[in-house]
Amino acid sequence: MADRNPPPLTPAGYQVLLALADGKAHGYAVMRFVEDVTNGSVQLGPGTLYRTIARLVADGLVEEVSGDDSEPHDARRRYYRMTSLGIDAAKRETDLLARLVGVAENAGLLDSARRSTA
C-alpha cells in the first residue's frame, strides 16, 4: 500500500501529473505534452519518464487503466490516470508553486512581455 505520509513530489513527478490532469494518457503522450506545454524548455527523456511513472504508481498517486475504445487499438500503449491521492498531491504542489509565482510577481519577476524570442 502507499504510505500514509505524503511522498514528496519531484519536478518530473509534477509534470507527469499535470499531463494526466485532463484524463488518462499513455507515457509517450505525457512526454509530448510536457515538451509542448513548456515550449520545449522541459523535456522528459524516456529514462526520467518511465521511471517517474513507475514511482508515481508505486506511491499510489497514479494507476494504470485499460485503453480507450474510441482510439485505435495500440498494444504497446499503457494508459495511466491520477488517483485521488495523486490529485491531492497535484493540488498541494500547485498551491505551492502559485505562492512562489506570486512572490516573484510582487518582486517584478514576471516577464510577460516574452513571446517571440530571437
Partner DNA sequence: TCTCGATATATCCGAAGTGGATATATCCAA
Partner DNA sequence: TTGGATATATCCACTTCGGATATATCGAGA
Residues that bind DNA (CB under 7 A): 8, 10-13, 26-29, 43-48, 50-55, 72-79
Cell numbers placing 34:
510536457
Which residues, other chains included, contact 85 with Cβ-Cβ below 8 Å and sequence gap of 6+?
2, 59, 60, 61
41 binds its own copies (CB under 8 A): yes
Instruction: Choose between 36 and 43: whose C-beta lies nearer to DNA.
Output: 43
CA distance 118 to 110: 19
For residue 46, the one-letter residue type is P
Residues in the chain: 118
- For residue 80, the minimal CB distance to DNA (Å) is 8
- Give me the residues that bind its own copies (CB under 8 A), please: 1, 11, 14-15, 18, 21-22, 37-39, 41-42, 87, 90-92, 94-101, 103-105, 107-112, 114, 117-118
